[in-house]
Structure 1
């Protein structure tokens, strides 16, 4: 079965690559698109340019085309908007959940976003605008406002009937917030608890104490503490504790995945693509990288300036230049290790901004121990080949550079978070440049002192 599906997908790709698609090929393509699992069709769309991807969506059945479009990243959806016909656009947009609509609208030009909003019916337009009313990065921006209203005074039978009637209109019926008549959150029930209870049992008797978040809470922080709880959904309340929506488990997982991808990209000196690599235009790939390369190129001038200042020292002891790559590389790697560890701890909530002194003290000791070990090895090897004085310079420099790099690398992500910047931005690229420049200064100062230059 797997081999047949793979062959079929390869055939689809060959047809899509054709410059001129004949009518009989379109019929063949439509027939083949009805066969593979939905995830294979999503993969096909993600690997196609917008024009061909739009063609695939038009040839799918209505249900499958909506499922495929809904599975795409918002940035990819936005790229497809220009290649789709107006009728297709409105249909796909109307079928999206309110939070997914808002994510797509954030990627579109204002005039297109306004046109899409105008074509929604009043009810769908209202719930979409509710989500759009919350700031970007907040839980409210990622929640679903479509929630079944279940009261604590209801019996299990009444609640089941209410869920049955509203199942098609709400995000989920498997995690049920229980509210008072003024919509203040009172408790939480699973569908199983309601289904297995006696018909005349009131929800107030079986509901659990509510675990909830507020609509203005940070989406990433909330998602990270919510996922390990293994709940299907998390009630979202406003400042007066009234229920305004649900954050589902899969939406929380998407938030964490997006943030991890963003941190990974920025720690490597580029911007996140926010859509599959093969469907990303080359120009967009260039834009995601070139700014950071320019920033790093400018910052690397610091290293050149340091070498220029100590040019006379290098001319007296040329041997010192042989160890520059070793020392700068060791300092950068040490700082990157510390920064990556602390950035991850910040994301998981293990470290907070107020812990900066504790983190610096901890990383200072880690750097000191690593520096002592590497310095001892460096001293022995350099002393055997170039003499004891050079060995002493290398050993002392490794000790100082590792201590400095670990301390600074551990502190920078916390400093970044304190000033509202992304901790990942202050990770590998900037720390490497910083440690290169300061490491060279330390190196030449120790050399001048030990060698009497």
Structure 2
């Protein structure tokens, strides 16, 4: 069983990092799961994260890198050797590569792309060909495609053959000879049918999104309709990718974090709060503070208009803080209630 991150364990790891006791650090993190290591790395700065990552076992390191947000992946790349970076980049899914490339400088992105194999370069190029905020940028071009004339035994054999490369095999798109999406069949339906049944006889009406649709809208549709995956098609209804529910949940988490940050009057941070640089925190807050300060000057101007009235009845000034506070509270209530209602 993997160890959990406790306050005592975090303290010991912090002490090992401070004293540069790498053998002790390696021993402390050896039994941690990838999710626990991800939580741990979110509590330290860039330099400490790089040290922790280098102490991980190879398999755990690959899983952790896949789980890291693109901004933290970009930070980590600078501290790794070129051979390590190339190996990690080759093993990433094409949609995850596209996110990472958006975070790194153009020179680094070019070097990363140059190190890919021809097949992986082609798949990544497909994703990069779509606008940044579109679902085409977040889909996976690695999927199992079936034909209506396949028998169930042929379909299962195809899924088994593509098992290691496909993003998912639980929802399988069915395409025509022209690669146009004509149906969807689930693995459950295939397992339930007899071997000689044609896929066209058990497939259902396809649910899909267009590759140029908004990523957030596609993610909400996937989550609201409880789909494990949605097919992604181009303008001519040709199948170009698959969009899975785990990617949908990741997009919704990003968008909800952004919405909540702006409700609170800040810009969303691209790093975990405890690991975010001070300058990033200042930048995320200073713009909104200036906007709110400008808004507050309007209140001062209103008070100046009624200065003579307040001078005649000083007791009115007692209610000024009460009215300002009530106005702010009312605004917060309305913003929170309406935003939540729109989200649901």
Normalising TM by the smaller chain, what interval?
over 0.9
Q: Is the 2:3–2:32 Cα contact (8 Å) retained in structure 1?
A: no
Distance 1:64 1:326, change over 3 A: same
Q: How does 1:436-447 map to 2 (within 5 A)?
A: none
Corresponding residue for residue 258 of structure 2? 262
TM-score relative to the length of structure 2: 0.94
CA-based RMSD: 1.9
2:62 pairs with 1:66 = yes
**How do 1:108-187 residues align onto structure 2 when only pairs under 5 Å count?**
108-187=104-183
1:285 CA drift (Å): 1.0
**Offset at 1:252?**
0.3
SS of alignment partner, residue 150 of structure 1: coil
Alignment partner, residue 324 of structure 1 = 320
Partner of 1:418: none
TM superposition shift of 1:13: 2.8
- Cα distance in 1 for partners of 2:168, 2:64 equals 20
Q: Deviations over 1:134-161 (max 9, x none)?
A: 1122111111111112111111111111
* Distance in 1, Cα, partners of 2:196 & 2:140: 30
How many residue pairs match? The answer is 343
Structure 2 residue aligned with 1:240: 236
Q: Indicate yes or no: 2:84 matched with 1:75.
A: no
Q: Which structure features the higher share of helix residues?
A: 1
Per the alignment, residue 13 of structure 2 pairs with 12
**Equivalent residues in 2 for 1:296-375, closer than 5 Å:** 296-348=292-344
> Structure 2, unaligned stretches of length 5 or more?
none
Residue 332 of structure 1 and its aligned partner are, at CA, apart by: 2.8
Quote the Cα distance in structure 1 between the aligned partners of 2:220 and 2:59: 33
Structure 1: tracts of 5 or more residues without a match:
349-453
Q: TM-score, normalised by structure 1?
A: 0.72
From the superposition, tell whether residues 246 and 26 of structure 1 become closer, same or farther in structure 2 (CA, over 3 Å): same
CA 1:33–1:215 in structure 2 vs 1: closer, same or farther (change >3 Å)?
same
Q: Deviations over 1:384-440 (max 9, x none)?
A: xxxxxxxxxxxxxxxxxxxxxxxxxxxxxxxxxxxxxxxxxxxxxxxxxxxxxxxxx
Structure 1 segment 414-429 matched on structure 2, within 5 A: none
Q: Given that residues 146 and 173 in structure 2 are in contact (C-alpha distance below 8 angstroms), is that contact kept between their aligned partners in structure 1?
A: yes
Q: Name 2:209's counterpart in structure 1.
A: 213
Shift of residue 29, structure 1, vs aligned partner: 2.9
Alpha-carbon deviation of 1:5?
A: 6.5
2:310 and 2:316 in contact (8 A); partners too: yes
Distance 2:11 2:322 in 1: 48
On the 8 A contact 1:221/1:347 being kept in 2, the answer is no
Contact 1:50/1:83, CA 8 A, preserved across alignment: no
TM-superposed deviation, 1:3: 8.2
Aligned to 1:358: none
Contact 1:213 1:236 in 2 (8 A): yes
The DSSP-based 3-state class of the residue aligned with 1:176 is strand
**Residue 16 of structure 2 contacts residue 24 of structure 2 at CA under 8 Å; is this kept in 1?**
no
